[in-house]
Amino acid sequence: MTARTLAAVETLRGADLEAPVPGDRVRSVVLAEDVVAPGAEWLTEFWAAGRSRAWTLAQTALLHPYGHYYEARVAAGLLGSRSP
């Protein structure tokens, strides 16, 4: 998936990033690639809300993993590990 993302990003220009990502496209890719775990189906609709390509790229590549990093830090802290 990383290689495909990088290949797609290299073809984008500034105006392309402002275009909304069609919700139907998001739903079809999520279904075809089985990227949403059972019980988290709400995530598909969150991603398919017609946001811009820029938002979608930032959310999936940066913001989403960053959030999980902080979740992991909280869990480690609850287990007694000090923050770095």
The set of residues, in sequence order, having a beta carbon less than 8 Å from that of 21 and lying 6+ positions away, is: 48, 50, 51, 52, 53, 56
Count of structural domains, the chain? 2
Each residue's pLDDT expressed in tens, for the chain with a length of 84 residues: 678 878 887 888 888 889 999 999 999 999 999 989 999 999 999 999 999 989 988 887 787 788 888 899 999 999 998 877
Shared domain for 39 and 59, answered yes or no, is no
60 and 47 housed in the same domain: no
Task: Tell me, yes or no, if the pTM score tops 0.75.
Answer: no
| Domain region containing 73 | 53-84
The position carrying tokens 């990088």 is 6
